[in-house]
Amino acid sequence: MTTSNPGIPVEPSVEQKRPSGPRKLTKAEIRASEAKTRLTSPWATGIAIIMAILWTIPTFGLLITSIRPQASIQQSGWWTWFTNPEFTLQNYETVLTGSSTAFGTYFVNTLVITIPAVVIPITIALLAAYAFAWIEFRGRDLLFVAVFALQIVPLQVTLIPLLSIYVDVGLAGSFWTVWLSHSIFALPLAIFMFHNFMKDIPRSLVEAARVDGAGHVRIFFRVLLPLLVPAVAAFTVFQFLWVWNDLLVALTFAGGTPNVAPLTVRLAELSGSRGQDWHLLSAGAFVALIVPVLIFLFGQRYFVRGLLAGGVKG
Amino acid sequence: MSDTQTPEKADASASDATAGKHKNPVSYGALAVGFFMILVFAGIVGLVAASFFDAVPEITWPSFLVESDTAVRKLGLMVFVVLLFVGVMALLLFMVDSRKRVPNWTVAIAFVGPALAALLLGLIWPGISTLIQSFYGRSPWYDPERSEFVGMANFSTLFTTPEFQVVLRNTLIWVILVPLVAVGLGLLYAVLIDRTRGEAISKGLIFLPMAISLVGASIIWRFVYEYRAPARPQIGLLNQLLVWLGLEPYQFILNVPWNTTFLIVVMVWIQTGFAMTIISAAIKAIPDDIVEAARLDGVSGLRMFRYVTIPSIRPALLVVWVTITMTTLKVFDIVRTMTGGNFQTSVVANEFYTQSFRQFDFGLGAALAVLLFVIVIPVVVYQVRQLRISEEIR
Amino acid sequence: MALNHKRRFTALSGVLAATFVVTACGSGDDGGGGTDGGSGSSAIDCAPYEQFADIDGKSVSTYASIVAPESDAYEAAWKPFEDCTGVDVKGEWSKEFEAQIVVRVQSGNPPDVALFPQPGLLQTVVNDTGAVVPVFEETEAVVDENFSEDWKAYGTVDGTYYGFPNSSNSKSFVWYSPSAFADAGYEIPQTWEELVSLSDKIVADNPDGSVKPWCAGIASGDATGWPVTDWVEDKMLRDQGADYYDKWVAHEVPFNAPESVEVWDAVGTVLRNPDYVNGGFGNVQTVASTSFQDGGLPILDGSCFMYKMASFYAANWPEGTDVSENGDVFAFYFPANEGSEEKPVLVGSEFIAAFDDRPEVRAFTTYLASAEYANLRAKEGFGFVSANKNLDVANVDSPISKLAAEQFQDPSALIRFDGADLMPGAVGSGSFWREATAWIAEGKDTKAVLDSVEQSWP
């Protein structure tokens, strides 16, 4: 399942297995594959490096800022740190210990909110996307376009109608509301994305499985799901960090009490009642950043070559 | 939409199923799933209606479900909900995956049903409510004491406000520029770093902005754009660069018309990571035989990119383009935190937020949300056409 | 988790005896007092709360825009009430209060008691939702003992009394550096005319233009522009008098009347004067792009001398800054015009209102209106100062808040509330801010600005 396996597109087999992760390529293989798709090398490398630097410098500035004392932050640029290094962990200390509620509590809350809010919508969306792509039923396209168009509904218009319902059924202030809401809000994009990826899978693959007597459930799990691993991995990463960084949904439906409040609630209050302590936000942003970045790097394992036969029209 | 369509369909197919019952045994499990999902829809419609008329009976939940005061209970509840969800979904699928004859509609409803039920509750109903609200005054339309039907007045207010043309113009600039630049750069970067050493790290660097919370991003860009008098030490990086180059510092977020562009840069900085990640996944999915065949034909470099890579990842490009367009239309935090909509930088989404949650004029806010929907119609039409085309190809 | 619970428990069970000790030595930023352990009964007189039957074990939810660590000071100040009555007061603190409170009320999920950051929002919620309960009679009786009649007016909507003040602040302050003034030989101006001549003197003393008399910042996210409204109001009060000011707020005179134009132009002689502003930041335009939090900081490095901002700005100085009469920074009274007998003070305040009528809520709001609460809360620090007449100024922690408290209690002071907070939202938190920002940033003509605001008046 790597570049060393050229020539054959994905086997039309129902026995398709999940990848065990990319194996290390030999140097020769790397060079060979680089030659295949890469543009003229020195230029390419140059542009890529420039872009990476441009994208990273602002964040790097934030990192430096987070270890500078307050007075310096407000009076001189972060780059002066190189000529005049001052190091303090005071900002991080305040972020981690400056509240009467332990930092760990917020962390646990975020985790408890995030995991179901990622698992649930992705599962539901995968199934729906499959139905929209591969099950014939009346009104399918109309329904799909409707779901697709729901992407434009701003989250904010749902707050009052949804919270009213949660209050009525007695769930307001619990994790359930946050799980449910995040799941719902993720659906249009997830269905749209998965649908377009699934639609792209060669018909021959699905037909072959059908001839073998596989029903929809089997085709979904055995044929399509393995091919969608990169897409699912990518969406998982994004859904994870949207939920991780969300303040509005959690605050509206679950409220800001320590029993349910996520990390973002703590981050939002760092700057103080009147925004006077905004310098603390730099450290706060980095503390909140660690887990999403780890998830992204971990997700890379699943962005594997040769899994998705995209672009091939069967 | 879904609630009217699905039951009607269900009836028709159900009678088919019963008719064929005698010849070939039908899976009762699958039928049960179909009816169960119909019940779920009815339940949700009922819930929305009951909530609307304030007729929901008081429910007392077992305390372990709603109370979460210790880490152990929270984590326990989390595991419980994930298992419950997986269990229910597995049961649904298991029941429609029978060796007996399974009516197609039950499979369809088992697959699409949960999504539609959730959307009905959380997006369709609020969406309809917003549409109605756009014809009402500042109070909620369902509040009998205060609501006031105003017809098209909200819309005419919008279009007669002199500054609104600027808002519309800005929104168009955003919605054209952000997807164009973000997808372009995301594609470029994804291609450039494909199969290079340290690919994960290089991608991580571009992805980083996506992962930073908005509060973080606002501080970050403040240290890029902040202006200080020429004689004083700069704290904004760009102005420091200008000073190092011997130029005057520039007021990036203040000077019309370029300030809108500098706000757009922030959005591009964030969204490029999204585009790059999805596009990169698609590039990885190009089958090697295609690349190989092209190479044998003597195609390489830019031509390979133009004639092999681009056509192969076209679907992914579309997904990314459409998604970023939608996100851009809805985004207001950047404008809100950096200029508050001043200095002629406001966009429709920011006006929507301001009217709804600053002025609490829900009617005008709803009209702006409806306007967003109108702006997005071309994208929807385009997607419908794409759907038709791909239907024909198959 | 367990540790956290224990900590909270001890924090809340700290008796007032302990609180006294802590606050006696505590500065504003020690994270609130009351963390010392101890036992015993409440430190306040419980008698006033005995009239409320069956409230032991009940709970009251509160919601406010104040956040930690300042919120800890509130929880500590509520502790004696909880000790007295057995009522559990649950605090929820969020910076998103302004948007969230309306969402919550409209969804049928209001808190029992809310601390509104300004009366305009209270007025909006009253008018738009009808969910606010008028101040309870028991509470109103206590309010009448402790607050002057003026303060009652600000919490009244269409003749019904809905809210009473929590913490208040004085906006009629100009921040300066006592040490820098002393070094340069400048005196604190006693009249507007002296203020102008001092500004001119500073300009003359710094011919290269690197140091300006004033610095200013009005950026505040989606509330950008509000500091200008304070300038205009303070000047309106001084130039046109309190009667005109009241009419102006109530829109009995047009917003674009010639008197208003004069006032704005007077403000413009400072805020739009390239010789006067914007020390440390740049030209006049930078006033619009500088955040109000940063606005006064150049005073510290001497690139400007004065910054007009409310008393709460005390919290914005970097840690280690000596905020006192002879220290690094302090504030003087924004002076009245020459020959004026009056001493106008422009104030802002949070307002407490209830959403539910239950005995425990009645008891709690009654406590919040009391002098005991004002004094206990003041002792917890964070610059808390109340318009409560029976607040002992000695309990107020920061010197600038003491100054504000003295202004509130000064019988000769002519106190007027921040007009923008009392105007309809479309103006007071809409066109007024927006146009004021354009007035600075784009140099928009004063009359055009005022016409535009006048037109937006609903």
Express each pLDDT in C363-380 by its tens digit: 999 999 999 999 999 999
Dihedral sign of CA atoms C87, C60, C29, C421 in order: negative
Flag if A256 and C319 touch (Cβ within 8 Å).
no
pLDDT tens readout for residues B165-204: 999 999 999 999 999 999 999 999 999 988 888 888 899 9
Average pLDDT, integer, range B272-292 = 86
pLDDT tens readout for residues C232-277: 999 999 999 999 999 999 999 999 999 999 999 999 999 999 999 9
Model pLDDT, residue C92: 93
Query: Residue C117 has what DSSP assignment?
Result: S
C458 touching chain B per CB within 8 A: no
- Buried b / exposed e across C291-319, counting CB within 10 Å, b at 16+? bbbbbbbbbbbbbbbbbbbbbbbbbbbbe
How far is the alpha carbon of A175 from chain C, nearest alpha carbon, in Å?
A: 16
A160 touching chain C per CB within 8 A: yes
B251 touching chain C per CB within 8 A: yes
Model pLDDT, residue A302: 78
Q: Within a 10 A sphere around the Cβ of C326, how many other Cβ atoms?
A: 9
Dihedral sign of CA atoms A5, A11, A15, A17 in order: positive
pLDDT tens readout for residues C285-320: 999 999 999 999 999 999 999 999 999 999 899 888
Flag if A74 and C4 touch (Cβ within 8 Å).
no
Average pLDDT, integer, range C217-221 = 93
- Judge whether residue A21 has pLDDT over 50: no
A contacts of C70 (beta carbons < 8 Å): 272-273
Flag if C95 and A269 touch (Cβ within 8 Å).
yes
Model pLDDT, residue A20: 41
How far is the alpha carbon of B278 from chain C, nearest alpha carbon, in Å?
A: 33
CA distances from C34 to C72, C86, C365, C373, C376 (A): 9, 18, 22, 14, 11
Share of chain C above pLDDT 90, in %: 78
- Cβ(A268)–Cβ(A248) below 8 Å: no
Q: Within a 10 A sphere around the Cβ of B23, how many other Cβ atoms?
A: 8
Q: Within a 10 A sphere around the Cβ of A14, how many other Cβ atoms?
A: 17
Flag if B342 and C434 touch (Cβ within 8 Å).
yes
- Cβ(B90)–Cβ(B18) below 8 Å: no
User: Phi, psi (5° rounding) for residue A136?
Assistant: -85, 125
d(CA C166, CA C168): 6
Domains of chain C in sequence order: 2-170+349-410 (3.40.190.10), 173-346+417-456 (3.40.190.10)
| Token code pair at residue C455 | 């037109």
d(CA A198, CA A74): 51
Model pLDDT, residue B24: 64
A145 touching chain C per CB within 8 A: no
- Judge whether residue C180 has pLDDT over 90: yes
Model pLDDT, residue C102: 93
pLDDT band at residue C11 using 50, 70 and 90 as cut-offs: very low
What letter represents residue B371's amino acid?
A: L
- Judge whether residue A39 has pLDDT over 80: no
Model pLDDT, residue B231: 82
- Judge whether residue B17 has pLDDT over 50: no
A167 touching chain C per CB within 8 A: yes
Average pLDDT, integer, range A24-43 = 54
Flag if B228 and C289 touch (Cβ within 8 Å).
no
Model pLDDT, residue A51: 94
What letter represents residue B122's amino acid?
A: G
C82 touching chain A per CB within 8 A: no
Q: How far is CA B158 from the centre of its chain?
A: 25
- Judge whether residue A144 has pLDDT over 60: yes
CA distances from C387 to C258, C371, C373, C410 (A): 34, 10, 12, 11
Considering only CA atoms, which of C43, C34, C40 is closest in space to residue C14?
C34
- Judge whether residue C203 has pLDDT over 70: yes
Considering only CA atoms, which of A236, A204, A202 is closest in space to residue A114?
A236
- Judge whether residue A82 has pLDDT over 70: yes
A contacts of B11 (beta carbons < 8 Å): none
pLDDT tens readout for residues B44-98: 999 999 888 888 888 888 888 888 888 999 999 999 999 999 999 999 888 888 7
Q: What is the enclosing helix (H) or strand (E) of C11?
A: helix C2-13
pLDDT tens readout for residues C392-435: 999 998 899 999 999 998 888 899 999 999 999 899 999 999 99
d(CA C91, CA C66): 10
Q: What is the enclosing helix (H) or strand (E) of B290?
A: helix B288-296
Residue of A102, A159, A166 with shortest CB distance to C4:
A102
CA distances from C330 to A72, A292, B82, C177 (A): 21, 44, 57, 6
- Judge whether residue A313 has pLDDT over 50: no
pLDDT tens readout for residues B233-259: 899 999 999 999 999 999 999 998 899
DSSP string, B130-187: HHHHTTB-SS-TT-TTT--B-TTHHHHHHHHSTTHHHHHHHHHHHHHHHHHHHHHHHH
d(CA C21, CA C29): 16
Flag if C291 and A275 touch (Cβ within 8 Å).
yes
C contacts of A275 (beta carbons < 8 Å): 220, 291, 293
Give the chain A residue nearest B76 (alpha carbons): A112
A contacts of B303 (beta carbons < 8 Å): none
| Token code pair at residue C201 | 């003197």
d(CA C265, CA C121): 29
Q: Which residue has the higher pLDDT, A121 or C32?
A: A121
Model pLDDT, residue A27: 52
Share of chain B above pLDDT 70, in %: 93
Flag if C108 and A167 touch (Cβ within 8 Å).
yes
Task: Among C214, C222, C226, pick the best mutation site for testing chain B contact (most B Cβ within 10 A).
Answer: C222
pLDDT band at residue A26 using 50, 70 and 90 as cut-offs: low
- Judge whether residue C41 has pLDDT over 70: no
Give the chain A residue nearest C313 (alpha carbons): A276
Q: Which residue has the higher pLDDT, B284 or C202?
A: C202
Q: Which residue has the higher pLDDT, B155 or B33?
A: B155
Model pLDDT, residue A299: 83
Residue A126: CB partners within 8 Å, gap ≥ 6? A190, A194, A220, A225, A228, A232
Give the chain A residue nearest B196 (alpha carbons): A34
B contacts of C225 (beta carbons < 8 Å): 340, 342
d(CA A277, CA B164): 35
What letter represents residue C330's amino acid?
A: F
What subunits touch chain B, counting only 3 or more CB pairs under 8 A?
A, C
Residue A73: CB partners within 8 Å, gap ≥ 6? A65, A279, A282
Q: Within a 10 A sphere around the Cβ of B386, how many other Cβ atoms?
A: 16
Q: What is the enclosing helix (H) or strand (E) of B129?
A: helix B125-133
- Judge whether residue A8 has pLDDT over 50: no
d(CA B50, CA B55): 5
Model pLDDT, residue A189: 93
Which region among B376-390, C101-115, C334-348, C409-423 has the lowest average model confidence (pLDDT)?
Answer: B376-390
How far is the alpha carbon of B240 from chain C, nearest alpha carbon, in Å?
A: 14
Task: Among A100, A257, A266, A277, pick the best mutation site for testing chain C contact (most C Cβ within 10 A).
Answer: A100
What letter represents residue C77's amino acid?
A: A
DSSP string, B296-332: HTT--HHHHIIIIIHHHHHHHHHHHHHHHHHHHHH--
pLDDT band at residue A257 using 50, 70 and 90 as cut-offs: confident
Say how many Å lie between the first and final Cα of chain A, rounded: 20
- Cβ(C115)–Cβ(C64) below 8 Å: yes
Burial (CB count <10 Å: 0-12, 13-18, 19+), residue C447: middle
Flag if B228 and C288 touch (Cβ within 8 Å).
no
Model pLDDT, residue A183: 96
- Judge whether residue C336 has pLDDT over 50: yes
pLDDT band at residue C9 using 50, 70 and 90 as cut-offs: very low
pLDDT tens readout for residues C53-80: 889 999 999 999 999 889 999 999 999 9
What subunits touch chain A, counting only 3 or more CB pairs under 8 A?
B, C
Model pLDDT, residue B150: 95
Residue B160: CB partners within 8 Å, gap ≥ 6? none
Average pLDDT, integer, range A140-148 = 91
Give the chain A residue nearest C65 (alpha carbons): A273
Give the chain A residue nearest B99 (alpha carbons): A215
B360 touching chain C per CB within 8 A: yes
How far is the alpha carbon of C370 from chain B, nearest alpha carbon, in Å?
A: 32
- Judge whether residue C362 has pLDDT over 60: yes
Residue C400: CB partners within 8 Å, gap ≥ 6? C173, C311, C314, C323, C330, C331, C383
C280 touching chain B per CB within 8 A: yes
Share of chain B above pLDDT 90, in %: 51
Model pLDDT, residue B283: 86
B140 touching chain C per CB within 8 A: yes
CATH 1.10.3720.10 range(s) for chain B read 164-345
- Cβ(C303)–Cβ(C295) below 8 Å: no
CATH 1.10.3720.10 range(s) for chain A read 103-302
Average pLDDT, integer, range C339-349 = 92
Average pLDDT, integer, range B293-310 = 86
Q: How far is CA C404 from the centre of its chain?
A: 10
Average pLDDT, integer, range B330-342 = 92
Strands (E) in C288-433, as ranges, are: 304-308, 330-333, 343-354, 413-417
Flag if B301 and A40 touch (Cβ within 8 Å).
yes
Place of tokens 């001549």: C197
- Judge whether residue C128 has pLDDT over 70: yes
Give the chain C residue nearest A279 (alpha carbons): C318
Considering only CA atoms, which of C192, A297, A105, C55 is closest in space to residue B72?
A105
Model pLDDT, residue B335: 93
* SS3 readout for C213-274: EECCCCEECECCCHHHHHHHHHHHHHHCHHHHHHHHHCCCCCCCCHHHHHHHHHHHHHHCCC
What letter represents residue B298's amino acid?
A: G
Superfamily of domain A103-302: MetI-like (1.10.3720.10)
Model pLDDT, residue C412: 84
| Token code pair at residue A40 | 């003229």
Model pLDDT, residue C29: 37
pLDDT band at residue C171 using 50, 70 and 90 as cut-offs: very high
Flag if A48 and B312 touch (Cβ within 8 Å).
no
Residue of A104, A164, A269 with shortest CB distance to C93:
A269
Order of strands across the sheet with C330-333? C212-214, C304-308, C173-176, C330-333
Superfamily of domain B164-345: MetI-like (1.10.3720.10)
